[in-house]
Chain A
Amino acid sequence: MSEEAIPRQSMDVDIACVGFGPATGGFLTTLSQALEERATEPAFQSRVAPGLPLQVVCFERADDLGFGVSGVVTRARGIRASFPEFDPTEIPMGTKVASERLVYLQDPVGASRRSPGIRALDRLSGVANNGDHAVEVSAIPDFLRKDDGVLLSIGQFNQWVAGRLMSTGLVQLWPGMPVSQPLIEDDRVVGIRLVDQGTDRTGSPESGYMPGMDVHAGLVVVGDGPAGAVGQRLDERFGLPEGKHQRDWAVGMKMVVDLPEDTALEPGTVLHTIGYPEPEIFGFLYVQPERVASLGIFVPSWFASPVRTGYRYLQHWMMHPYLWSRLQGSRMRSWGAKTLQESGLRGEPHLVGDGYARIGEGSGSTNVLTGSGVDEAWTTGVLLAEAVIEHLERDVPFTRDALTNSYVARRRSSWLQTEAKVAEKARDGFQRGVLTGLVGMGLSGITGGRINVSGSHPHPRDRMPSVEEYYEGRIPAEEIASIRESCQRSRASLHDVLMERAGWPPIPHDGKLLVSHQDALLMGGKVQAPPGYPDHVVFLYPHLCESCEVQLCVEVCSGQAITPGEGGGVPDFDREKCVHCGACVWSCTRSREDESERGNIEFRAGAGGLHSAEN
């Protein structure tokens, strides 16, 4: 089929939003509230469709609204400001925080890689543990506390927000519609292009081919998250502001579980864990109403392991005696994973340009000191909406200068900026080790960011040891070579074999909570991929993959969608298993020849992924 034979459609709108998460939810909620009250005023009439109200559309990549994964404990200051009568219990799985504990987990299996300092901490804390290899820390620093906050399923919260928005009829939300790229003319963003449909894996037209529509807009609101296609294309085109970089990342993997009938965990309970399965990995467990819990781990980019895996570590974390005594008998309901952009203010991109503005996590709003992102993302959307309303009232076009004076100025004078400044260097110490990092966070938090532990910020790939270096003294190089060859033959990742060889016990699958990775995809994530879309994970330069010994993309892949390729070359990608977490992008250990900051994997706009609205 000829690509030219089918014309590319286009349409004009006033505002086009990319991605429907908390940030866009905040933006559209604030904007629609103004539109409801003032829809008949000339200022709030459409510029592209005279006589009609402002045309505001939002395109969401996932197959339905609320199919995402995100944090669920939040102080909800911004959300409460938008909904003064906000009651979390009106939203399924929502409740108020009732109690909060920080738990230090020791290593009960002897396989965790612990520095001398961590081992000393183990011995010190061993005096206080009750036989479950854990110590509850009684005092949680104020900057971490969320005991005035709420627990939410972000999937359900997004659906709740979407329902309110759609009932107004003033904004339109279109799920299942990935946006492939911004449309840029002379450095001005003039709209967005939707993804082509009816193609093969490479993007070549097949039966039913429909070129992605061009949507021209006076303002493009980019809220497509840390690995969104439009945000990445903007960063490629315009670069990051001087002095900014995005080198701190994490992959968060979580489950939603039905707790046992005799659970003693009360709704509203919040547990934070540190110390295990590896000292670099943090965990969380939030108890929601009706014996439901959300739990999971964060695996950071500064955990310099060439076999960095979220799923296997999640299982070992759940099996820690302190947690297992509370989780045994539970059943997985939902599962998923997502990338977190943890550079915060240091990774803030250009927030505005001619014709566009960025909100949410992709705009560097996550606070890495307080471990909070949802409310911050929401608030960025609210601030942009307030700015947009000002533009409409004064009929000011969405130029870079005007948006700087309206939106950026609002961000700079908000609590977001104040707290982001405190957090800016809070995690630098982790570049020098976990203990140093914890001390650094404490210092930054207690002193309001005035005293910080410094640390260099190498790119994650530049601190990645080889597998042989990582397991030196534990597994002989010859044995690693044999394991590598065997895994290559079976097209499997290395981490399961290597971890068990290094002392991690096999996972006793129970078919309920401890299930195979593939069962987690099916039973928990309900992962699906509609046909007719091109692959969204693309290995750009084959020779770079062919020269890559680590292939961390295979190990880190949250859905086992990336597997070793033929002869150890370019990995295979199976779109039907991808949960769109984006961890492969920042985990790639090969930099593009033309651009040192970016890896050899391009994460494009893609349909499908998780089909669970409970995460």
Chain B
Amino acid sequence: MAGFHIVVCGGMVPDPLQSLEPVVGPDGPALKNEAMLPMVLDPWAAHSLYEAAHLAAHAPGSKVWLVSLGPKARLQQLMMSIAQKVSFELVALDGAAGGFSDAYEIARALAEAIEGIPDLDRTRLLLFGGCASAARDAGVTMSMVAERLGLTEQFLGVDMLETDGDRLRIKERVEGGRYRISECDAPPAMLAWATGTLPIPPNNPQLGMQNMRSIMPALARAKSIPLGSGDVAFGAVERPVQRRETRVVKDMPPEDIAREIVAWMREG
């Protein structure tokens, strides 16, 4: 099996369970106290990174790059966690994180960064990323990156990839809770992943130390990416009205839980 050149696009988003409060700041919409929010690699993109590493480990000659856009200092901190998970080479872009940036501009920055990767063999390219983002859920960024790179084989909501090196067999989520299974000659191709099938890898500091040898220089090289909102004028940001009631129950039958949730929704 010939190796792949796998490029994973993955940004940072606030750690799950954080209380997010949109505000309109001097530079447009933002999250309140964004600088203090713990950040994680966007969960869908993280799954794609684990899938990429797994694929690379089983396809000799493969290599994985992670292209990540975010404030450089926050990226550095995030890398201390991610670098322990799997082996990759970082391509860092210094710019705003969050879900308020225009997807078109992000796609352009990512595509240009990928085009600038030395030694990247575009004929062996598998472009990976999340099918959506926890920050915005736009769901279009990966397709736009792929278009810019001239990748016409595109798969969305991917949960499984099998390959013998020359052909890809891909399982995508489609409407109705079903999977569509496709085959194509590839690479090159773009796969925007859903959750995949792999567990989160354990932390391995030794692997982290190996990764950091290339991550620190990559952070030092990080190109500054000015991101605006394009021609779109944001009027305001607001939160959906929500209610939160937490109760801990044990051994409650699912039917009873469902019944209670329905009653609760009707009340609202």
Residues of A with Cβ closer than 8 Å to B?
9, 11, 57, 59, 63-67, 92-93, 153, 155-156, 159, 162-163, 166-167, 169, 172-177, 194, 197-198, 207-208, 210, 213, 215, 333, 491, 511, 516, 518-519, 522-523, 526-528, 530-532, 560, 611-614
Q: Could you list some 18 contacts between A and B, CB below 8 A?
A: A11-B209, A163-B76, A166-B77, A167-B73, A172-B209, A174-B205, A174-B208, A194-B205, A207-B199, A518-B247, A526-B17, A527-B17, A530-B200, A532-B199, A611-B17, A613-B36, A613-B38, A614-B36
Chain B residues in 8 Å Cβ range of A560? 248
Residue of B nearest to A174 (CB): B205
Contact A65–B202 (Cβ < 8 Å): no
CB 8 Å contact bits of B116-147 with A (1 = contact, 0 = none): 00000000000000000000000000000000
Chain B residues in 8 Å Cβ range of A173? 80
Contact A65–B80 (Cβ < 8 Å): yes
Residue of B nearest to A194 (CB): B205
A169 to B220 alpha-carbon distance, docked (Å): 11
Residue of A nearest to B85 (CB): A176
Chain B residues in 8 Å Cβ range of A197? 202-203
Chain B residues 185 to 207 lying within 8 A of chain A, measured CB to CB, are 199-206
CB 8 Å contact bits of B39-80 with A (1 = contact, 0 = none): 000000000000000000000000000000000010011001
Minimum Cβ distance to chain A for residue B159 (Å): 19
Contact B199–A208 (Cβ < 8 Å): yes
Minimum Cβ distance to chain B for residue A76 (Å): 20
Given contacts A57-B209, A197-B202, are A65 and B77 in contact (CB under 8 A)?
yes
Contact A64–B77 (Cβ < 8 Å): yes
Q: Which of B36, B38, B204, B244 contacts A611 (CB 8 A)?
A: B38
Q: Which of B17, B18, B199, B203 contacts A177 (CB 8 A)?
A: B203
Chain B residues 27 to 41 lying within 8 A of chain A, measured CB to CB, are 33, 35-38
Chain A residues in 8 Å Cβ range of B35? 92
A162 to B73 alpha-carbon distance, docked (Å): 10
Q: Which of A159, A194, A523, A612 contacts B77 (CB 8 A)?
A: A159
Minimum Cβ distance to chain B for residue A74 (Å): 19
Minimum Cβ distance to chain A for residue B109 (Å): 23
A167 to B33 alpha-carbon distance, docked (Å): 23
Minimum Cβ distance to chain B for residue A382 (Å): 23
Chain A residues in 8 Å Cβ range of B209? 11, 57, 172
Chain B residues in 8 Å Cβ range of A163? 73, 76-77
Contact A176–B33 (Cβ < 8 Å): no
Contact B81–A63 (Cβ < 8 Å): yes
Minimum Cβ distance to chain A for residue B217 (Å): 9
Given contacts A93-B36, A613-B36, are A526 and B203 in contact (CB under 8 A)?
no
Chain B residues in 8 Å Cβ range of A159? 77
Chain B residues in 8 Å Cβ range of A64? 15, 38, 77, 81
How many pairs of A and B residues are in contact by the CB < 8 Å rule? 106
Chain A residues in 8 Å Cβ range of B250? 491
Contact B205–A59 (Cβ < 8 Å): yes
Would you call B16 an interface residue if the criterion is a C-beta within 8 Å of the partner chain's C-beta atoms? Answer: yes
Chain A residues in 8 Å Cβ range of B15? 64, 526, 611
Given contacts A172-B208, A207-B199, A530-B200, are A518 and B248 in contact (CB under 8 A)?
yes
A65 to B81 alpha-carbon distance, docked (Å): 10
Would you call B212 an interface residue if the criterion is a C-beta within 8 Å of the partner chain's C-beta atoms? Answer: yes
A523 to B243 alpha-carbon distance, docked (Å): 13
Given contacts A65-B77, A613-B38, are A176 and B208 in contact (CB under 8 A)?
no
A531 to B76 alpha-carbon distance, docked (Å): 25
Minimum Cβ distance to chain B for residue A574 (Å): 9
Chain B residues in 8 Å Cβ range of A527? 17
Contact B81–A57 (Cβ < 8 Å): no
Contact A213–B19 (Cβ < 8 Å): no
Chain B residues 6 to 36 lying within 8 A of chain A, measured CB to CB, are 15-19, 33, 35-36
Chain B residues in 8 Å Cβ range of A611? 15-18, 38
Contact B202–A523 (Cβ < 8 Å): no
Chain A residues in 8 Å Cβ range of B80? 65, 166, 172-175
A92 to B19 alpha-carbon distance, docked (Å): 17
Contact A175–B248 (Cβ < 8 Å): no
A380 to B204 alpha-carbon distance, docked (Å): 29
Contact A177–B205 (Cβ < 8 Å): yes
Chain B residues in 8 Å Cβ range of A511? 244
A197 to B15 alpha-carbon distance, docked (Å): 22
A611 to B16 alpha-carbon distance, docked (Å): 9
CB 8 Å contact bits of B72-101 with A (1 = contact, 0 = none): 010011001100100000000000000000
Chain B residues in 8 Å Cβ range of A66? 38
A526 to B15 alpha-carbon distance, docked (Å): 9
Q: Which of A93, A162, A213, A526 contacts B18 (CB 8 A)?
A: A526
Most buried by A among B19, B76, B216, B247: B19
Contact B202–A198 (Cβ < 8 Å): yes
Given contacts A197-B203, A522-B246, A526-B17, are A176 and B81 in contact (CB under 8 A)?
yes
Contact B202–A210 (Cβ < 8 Å): yes
Minimum Cβ distance to chain B for residue A508 (Å): 16
Given contacts A166-B77, A172-B209, A174-B208, are A333 and B19 in contact (CB under 8 A)?
yes
